[in-house]
Amino acid sequence: MNTQEQKNKTLSLVIPCLNEEGIIVETIQKARSVFDSMDLEDYEIIIVDDGSTDQSAKLALSEGAKVIGHPHNVGYGKSIKDGISQAQYDTIIISDADGTYPLEEISKLIKEYEKGFDMVVGARTGLHYRESWSKEILRYILKWLVEFTAGRPIPDINSGLRVFSRKVSMQFFNRLCDTYSFTTGITLAYMMSMKYVCYIPIIYKNRVGKSKVRIFRDSLRTLQYIVEAILFYNPIKIFIVLCFLNILFSLACFSMAYILNLENGFFIGVAGVLATFVIFSLGLLSILVSKNLHSNK
């Protein structure tokens, strides 16, 4: 683990950008002001222009930022990966270009990072963090699934303001998606690998411009990644849920057979119990396969 001095000397800020010409200059200037007030040997601001059709890239260059350009839109996660890959320094900060994250709180995240945490995340709070009821329902469902997978409470599963190590994060790149699920993915990757993750409350600000997130599409992609993460890191959880549902089904069949005197219901219930044993056995086998995969990484 890096020493406090090594962590605090240099850092790279990576910001994905898609058509943010109305706020990108202010974001870069704010970041530079924050970094200039910190005891840093050097820093860099990397703007990853993800196929913008406006003047975002040109404006970022005019402000002295390092700009990485994509010929077309390839996704939030891919933009973050490209920025990290081309960063000079090991201490990575990621944020958004739309003015929603309080960059002035970066120093607090860095202080916690210096204490030895592997990743420090800004947990969003405030009025602007709450959205429509449909989005809130989806958010709570995904949050529950991620917490179920990680086995611990998580204040914010996909906050875009984080501090972590370039070297460590790149170990997970082949398992992190290229979409908005990147932040959820790196959260699970760190936690399921028994790394130390800390959350610091931050006030989420009003967005400048239009959100690029498509809630239902991106929620489905996040759900897909969560299932993949469970199967990779802790597959027995999937099989435990399936066993539990199968037991409930079997009990329902036995109850109906007893109440209505249905012989077929009894046999279906017995079949359900046998299926539960098969599923549980597959779950045990999945643990062995998962451990073998991890040992051969």
Question: In the structure encoding, which two tokens stand for residue 177, read together?
Answer: 């998606």
| DSSP classification of residue 86 | T
pLDDT of residue 4: 46
pLDDT of residue 127: 75
Residues with Cβ < 8 Å from 208, sequence gap 6 or more?
A: 20, 22, 23, 98, 99
Question: In the structure encoding, which two tokens stand for residue 123, read together?
Answer: 């947990």
Sign of CA dihedral 142, 217, 186, 53: negative
* Ramachandran category for residue 211: left, alpha or beta (phi over 0 → left; psi -120 to 50 → alpha): beta
pLDDT of residue 100: 93
Strand order in the sheet with 119-125: 66-70, 42-50, 10-17, 91-94, 162-165, 119-125, 197-203
Q: Is 201 helix (H, G, I), strand (E, B) or coil?
A: strand
Q: Is 12 helix (H, G, I), strand (E, B) or coil?
A: strand
pLDDT of residue 284: 59
Q: How far is CA 245 from CA 192, 269, 275, 279, 282, in A?
A: 25, 12, 11, 11, 16
Element (DSSP H or E) covering residue 137:
helix 133-150
How confident is the chain (297 residues) per 10-residue block, as mean pLDDT?
A: 56 96 96 94 97 96 97 94 97 95 96 96 83 70 83 91 98 88 92 93 82 63 74 70 75 74 66 70 61 55
pLDDT of residue 175: 85
pLDDT of residue 207: 73
Give the angle 7-193-107 at the CA atoms, nearest 5°.
30
Closest by CA to 35, choosing from 95, 85, 104, 100, is 104
pLDDT of residue 132: 60
Question: In the structure encoding, which two tokens stand for residue 262, read together?
Answer: 């249905």
Cβ–Cβ under 8 Å, residues 27 and 59: no
